[in-house]
């Protein structure tokens, strides 16, 4: 049986970003950039004031002559202009003078520092057109409260790289460099098909032998959480003809996610139907717990052509809800992320380490993914496996915000021991 790492590698070999498309900036959130973004301007465009205050010459604060005039030996300067947001200064700051400036305004020529308005008082009735300003500070250094031109971004600079996920911060940068449209990778369609004769819709009370379909809604939600375009195929029965019809519809999508029917039971028909429909099996069964019966294959397309995105990645997830969830998180999610255009090295399920909050014993012959709770404390994360009754226990999964990883082999883990885990969204 192959390992989780080998299975991850196999899936990655078949998952390629979709063909890029142009979208308006307002639709770009959560998509992945399909182009490098360069700046069309300097930010800030000039030496800019960082505060509301007075543009001055720093040397005026170290020269006695301006100090003596002021209140209690403070500095006093004539105000020659006031520049508010959206305007540019017309005057030059000469010795003995100041220009009142608001945050973001260009620092006038001649000035080399800005003193905050909070460190001053403005006296307007002096006979001078804009009065004088008294400063209650003498500590003024060259460059204070000034952001030099192009400190944040220089014209022509690469500001965002291809493959980057567009979050609100990236939207801000795109808006700043004047992008109203942006090229992003296409949005994959993900078809979801839970299978099983025992399944009833959530709106019904299950009769004898029946259970509610939990995987369908869960997997649809998993797809939506990744911003995929989800195609809900309803419930598949353990009946070859109906299964064949539904799977055929699902093969029009970029990814088909089935659940149930992939183990060794009498009515586990999924692998055979997939084979009949010419879906090429890449692997079946992975050494992990839960999730061992996982089936993965590929349909259509030309697998040797990385620009060919007409193939369908087909995942047959085991039927138990937590098995389905864990397999989705470890294998389907990275594949969808990659199709969405995320860089190859970043698409894998995020992993971190944490210290065990209490001792834990596991007896396992396969790598085990145990629902757990990570506490992101200030001194570093700790992790506590939650009470969980195995692959059918979705309730236990809802208490978790991570999957704790316990490698194969029976072991006793001490409190405080460092283990790896996958944080969950």
Interface residues with ligand AMP (CB under 6 A) are 194, 196, 198-199, 211, 213-216, 259-263, 265, 268, 318-321
Which stretches of the chain bind Mg ion, using CB under 5 A?
196, 260-261, 319
Spell 49-63 as b/e; 16+ CB within 10 A means b: bebbbbbbbbebbee
Task: Indicate left, alpha or beta for 145 from its phi (over 0: left) and psi (-120 to 50: alpha).
Answer: left
Q: How far is the CB of 271 from ligand AMP (least distance, A)?
A: 11
User: Residue 147: which H helix or E strand, with range?
Assistant: strand 146-147
Q: 299, 268, 261, 267: which is closest to 281 by C-alpha?
A: 299
* Cα separation, 281 vs 118, whole angstroms: 71
Using Cβ positions, the residue closest to ligand AMP within the complex turns out to be 319
* Partner that binds at residue 216, options ligand AMP, Mg ion, none, CB closer than 5 to 8 Å by kind: ligand AMP
Among residues 120 and 320, whose Cβ is nearest to ligand AMP?
320
Nearer to ligand AMP, 32 or 325 (CB): 325
Which one of ligand AMP, Mg ion, none interacts with residue 145, CB within 5 to 8 A by kind?
none
We find the least distance from the C-beta atom of residue 368 to Mg ion, in angstroms, to be 23
* Nearer CB in complex with ligand AMP: 105/256: 256
DSSP state string for 239-282: -HHHHHHHHHHHTTSSEEEEES--SSSTT--HHHHHHHTTPEEE
Nearest to Mg ion of 75, 317 (CB atom): 317
DSSP state of 397: H
The reply to whether omega before 251 is within 30° of 0 (cis) is no
Identity of the residue, 293 or 319, whose beta carbon is nearer to Mg ion in the bound complex: 319
Does residue 13 contact residue 71 with C-beta atoms inside 8 Å?
no
Least separation, in Å, of the C-beta of 326 and Mg ion?
18
Residue 163 contact, options Mg ion, ligand AMP, none, Cβ 5-8 Å cut-off depending on partner type: none
Token pair belonging to 356: 């065990």
Give 275 or 414: the residue with its C-beta nearer to ligand AMP: 275
Q: Give dist(CA 351, CA 392) in Å, integer.
A: 24
What tokens appear for 150 in the block? Answer: 């192009």
Q: How far is the CB of 405 from ligand AMP (least distance, A)?
A: 23
Query: Tokens 């200064």 label which residue?
Result: 89
Task: Name the binder of 211 from Mg ion, ligand AMP, none, CB < 5-8 A by kind.
Answer: ligand AMP
CB of 270 to ligand AMP, least distance (A): 8
Nearest residue (CB) to Mg ion, 148 versus 265:
265
Cβ at position 208, least distance to ligand AMP in Å: 13
Q: State in angstroms the smallest separation of the CB of 177 from ligand AMP.
A: 47
Least Cβ distance, residue 324 to Mg ion (angstroms)? 12
> Of the two residues 145 and 320, which places its CB atom closer to ligand AMP in the complex?
320
271 contact choice in ligand AMP, Mg ion, none (CB below 5 to 8 Å, kind-dependent): none
If contact means CB under 5 to 8 A according to the sort of partner, which of ligand AMP, Mg ion, none does residue 129 touch? none
Based on the number of CB atoms within 10 Å of its own CB, is 233 exposed (0-12), middle (13-18) or buried (19 or more)?
buried
Residue (67 or 210) nearer to ligand AMP, CB: 210
- The partner in contact with residue 341, picked from Mg ion, ligand AMP, none with C-beta cut-offs of 5 to 8 angstroms by kind, is none
CB of 256 to Mg ion, least distance (A): 17
Buried b / exposed e along 390-409 (16+ C-beta atoms within 10 A): ebebbebbeebbbbbbbeee
- Backbone dihedral angles phi then psi of residue 94, each to the nearest 5 degrees: -95, 170
Task: Give the C-alpha separation, 363 to 8, whole Å.
Answer: 24
User: With CB cut-offs between 5 and 8 Å by kind, which of ligand AMP, Mg ion, none does residue 368 bind?
Assistant: none
Which is closer to Mg ion, CB of 29 or CB of 200? Answer: 200
Residue written as token pair 């195609």: 231
| CB of 264 vs ligand AMP, minimal distance in Å | 9
Question: How many angstroms separate the CA atoms of 369 and 286, rounded?
Answer: 13
Cross-strand bridge partners of residue 306? none
With CB cut-offs between 5 and 8 Å by kind, which of Mg ion, ligand AMP, none does residue 199 bind? Answer: ligand AMP
Q: Three-class SS of residue 221?
A: helix
Q: Which does 213 bind (CB under 5 to 8 A by kind): Mg ion, ligand AMP, none?
A: ligand AMP
């Amino acid at each position: 049986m192959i390992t989780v790492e080998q299975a991850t590698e196999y899936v990655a070999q078949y998952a390629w970003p979709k063909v890029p498309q142009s979208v308006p900036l307002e639709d770009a959130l959560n998509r992945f950039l399909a182009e490098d973004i360069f700046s069309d301007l300097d930010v800030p465009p000039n030496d800019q004031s960082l505060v509301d205050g007075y543009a001055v010459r720093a040397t005026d604060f170290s020269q006695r002559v301006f100090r003596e005039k002021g209140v209690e030996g403070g500095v006093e300067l004539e105000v020659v202009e006031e520049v508010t947001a959206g305007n540019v200064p017309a005057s030059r700051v000469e010795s003995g003078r100041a220009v009142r400036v608001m945050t973001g305004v260009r620092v006038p020529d001649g000035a080399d520092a800005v003193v905050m308005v909070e460190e001053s008082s403005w006296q307007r009735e002096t006979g001078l057109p804009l009065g004088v300003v008294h400063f209650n500070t003498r500590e003024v250094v060259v460059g204070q409260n000034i952001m030099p031109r192009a400190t944040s971004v220089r014209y022509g600079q690469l500001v965002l790289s291809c493959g980057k996920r567009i979050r609100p911060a990236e939207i801000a940068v795109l808006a700043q460099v004047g992008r109203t449209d942006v090229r992003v990778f296409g949005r994959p369609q993900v078809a979801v098909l839970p299978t099983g004769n025992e399944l009833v819709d959530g709106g019904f009370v299950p009769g004898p032998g029946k259970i509610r379909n939990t995987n369908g809604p869960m997997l649809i939600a998993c797809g939506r959480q990744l911003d995929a375009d989800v195609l809900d195929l309803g419930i598949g029965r353990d009946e070859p003809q109906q299964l064949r019809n539904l799977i055929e519809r699902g093969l029009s999508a970029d990814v088909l996610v089935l659940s149930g029917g992939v183990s060794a039971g009498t009515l586990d028909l999924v692998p055979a139907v997939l084979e009949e429909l010419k879906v090429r099996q890449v692997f079946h069964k992975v050494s992990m717990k839960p999730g061992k019966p996982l089936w993965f294959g590929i349909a259509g397309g030309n697998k040797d052509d990385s620009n060919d995105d007409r193939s369908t990645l087909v995942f047959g997830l085991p039927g138990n809800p937590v098995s389905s969830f864990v397999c989705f998180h470890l294998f389907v999610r990275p594949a969808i992320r990659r199709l969405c255009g995320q860089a190859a090295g970043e698409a894998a399920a995020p992993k971190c380490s944490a210290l065990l909050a209490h001792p834990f014993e596991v007896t396992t012959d396969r790598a085990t993914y145990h629902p757990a709770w990570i506490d992101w404390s200030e001194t570093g994360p700790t992790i506590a496996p939650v009470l969980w009754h195995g692959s059918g226990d979705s309730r236990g999964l809802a208490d978790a915000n991570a999957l704790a990883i316990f490698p194969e082999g029976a072991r006793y883990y001490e409190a405080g021991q460092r283990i790896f885990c996958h944080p969950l969204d």
